[in-house]
Amino acid sequence: MLTINSDANDRFRHLRSLTTAKGLKKEGLFLLSGAALIHEFLKKPTLKIHYEITTAKLPPLLTAPADTSKILQLAPDLFDELDVLGTHFNMLVLEQPPILALDATALAAYAPRGIELVIPTGDPGNLGALIRSAEAFGVTRAILTAEAAHPFLPKAVKASAGSVLRLPMARSPAPLRDFPASCIALDMDGTLINDFVWPKNALLAVGEEGNGYGAINPFKTRIRIPTQGVESLNVVVAASVALAMRGMGK
């Protein structure tokens, strides 16, 4: 067990960087926090565990002798810096699962398998919730655009309820407006979703929260969800309703 008491410690600085998108990209690791998520993960670990983070008041969960070198005991104030969600429970530092990279050439030639969800959401909480709904309703892959938040920010991981650990993901440096025109778009001016016949394989695109598709919606096929008394739905609600209706064949 290694004890860390100073924020000048190199290992702690690396750990702290995992609360930012820049650090997540650089380190290739992420923080898993929350008692329920951690207990569920430890039943059947699917990702490499680099460290367990504890304090003097939190007994380690990794008890096998071979794992003691992975246990980092932090001073309370340092632990609180990493515990951005305020869980007050042990944290795990895990290796990020692979995310498929789609450059411009790969994106132009990309052929979806099943229904894949294109997500431009910049809010990590909404992003995580979208990925959770995507897994729940049978989406085969989540594709993140240039605008999207990092899926392994602590808030995104929590909102996904662990779905980011399981659902295949891809990322493109292209903004939503540059995605193929063949995407199906949720749009208030589209065809009524009740009358839409879903293809077997397709990309389903949602707009950014608040901004929609911006000034340009480049997608040829647009579907809308009927509403009463409200102009639009939250992006998570809209995507969830559309995917649920697809599953019911409506």
d(CA 187, CA 228): 15
Give yes or no on whether 2-95 and 100-247 have one common fold.
no
Give the model's pLDDT for residue 54: 96
Give the model's pLDDT for residue 220: 87
The residue extents of the domains of the chain are 2-95, 100-247
Give the model's pLDDT for residue 250: 52
Q: What angle do CA 204, 171, 180 make, to 5 degrees?
A: 45
With beta carbons less than 8 A apart as the criterion, state whether 187 and 217 touch. yes
CATH of 2-95, one of 3.30.1330.30, 3.30.2020.30, 1.10.1740.10, 3.40.190.10: 3.30.1330.30
Reported pTM: 0.91
* CATH number of the domain located at residue range(s) 100-247 in this protein: 3.40.1280.10
Averaged over successive runs of 10 residues, the pLDDT of the chain (250 residues) comes to: 93 97 97 96 94 95 73 96 96 97 93 96 96 97 97 97 97 93 88 91 84 68 85 86 80
Looking at residue 96, the DSSP 8-state letter turns out to be: P
Give the model's pLDDT for residue 188: 81
Give the model's pLDDT for residue 209: 63
Distance set, CA 33 to CA 16, 37, 84, 125, 136 (Å): 14, 7, 9, 15, 21
3-state secondary structure of 206: coil
